Structure 1
Amino acid sequence: MTGKGSAYGQAAGDTDFRKKYDLDEYAAKAAAREAAEKEERKARYEAKLAGKKYYKPMDGTETLTVARNATQDFSKMVGTTSLVPAGAGVGKRGRGAGFYCEACDLTFKDNLQWLEHTNSMQHQRAVGATGQVKKATAEEVHARIEALWQRQQELKREQVITLQERLEVRKEEEEKEREERRRKRKEAEEKKRLEKEAALKAKTDYGEDVRIEGEHDEDDMMAAMGFTGFGTTAKK
């Protein structure tokens, strides 16, 4: 590079490559934001004096409130962990430990509070809904009932299939349990038979004086106590 060159191929003093900011534009945006926040604070204060709850004013772009088409499975969250920012355990404002509503920037500690919030007017206004529902026609009601009926029938069929499968699995388990009990019973009988055969063989080989395990336990106990028998004596 020459003495006046630069990494961009131009002289250092010829071009200013730094980003330019329109100060007037950003000042206007800041003034508009401050005016909106001031107007909101005033509306909140007036609503509080009137004993009412403040809701975000509508601008005409809102849509009618519709039912949720998806269910929240809270059981999947059991035993899970999530990272939260520092200070998340204080207050509801901002993302914290619990159920977070991105539209309202609020965190709730349990699922019941979160469900109540999603049904509130505050949340409906935040997501761009009017809080009012469309009145259904008779055709729409009939179509809805038919759809729910079909869904109920499908659930019943799935339940029957599931119950039948469970019965078959249980039947197989009971058969395995019976087979295991039969096997153990046969093993015990075979063991007793072998022990008896061994005892008979020992008596045959060595005579009646052979002591078999457990055979003379009662006689040994009586001898240790000094008894020789429980015979009766005849009176003269």
Structure 2
Amino acid sequence: MAHSASNTVGVDNTHRRKWNREEYLERARERELQEEEGHFKQKAKAPPVQRKPLKHRDYEVDLDSRLGKTQVVTPVAPLSQQAGYYCDVCECIVKDSANFLDHINGKKHQRALGMSMRVERASLQQVQERFESLKKRKIGGSFTEQDLDARILKQQQEEEERKRERRERKKEKKKEKAAEDEPEEDADIAAMMGFGGFRSSKKS
């Protein structure tokens, strides 16, 4: 039995291909070097993009010029004439004002404008110049501290007036409701007690 098992046909390992480990290690090293060189070349070709720091808008965002207007929308119309808010920088349309503001303040839009999301740090000289320009505006009369205080005070007074009016309206509504409910209740109570009403008993 053992003799027959030793005579079974098996796999012939004598003709297996022999791999030269050193040769393939050398090839792997060469390939890695070539990849590194190609990577460095690509980096050298594309210098890092220098973007300008963020700056404030010098225009007013138009959100309400098309409010309340009727517009016929067709699928073949260009994007700028479709419903929603059109961004001409990114050439896309945004469906509502909140998302439009998010878009124009977002990274993609700012990059398209050539700006990074970093804010430039103001120098001492820039701050002093800004103060000087504000002082000139103050002296010119277009902007004064008293005007600002007066506007804040006026807004507070208007808000208080609105609150007072709301309170008065609520009180009036409560009084009206109570006045409407009272006669019915009185009539019901009088009927239960056997009174026909509170009329005078004097005869004319």
The reply to whether TM is greater than 0.5 is no
Which structure has more relative contact order (CA 8 Å, sep 6+)? It is: 2
- State the TM-score, normalizing by the size of structure 1: 0.37
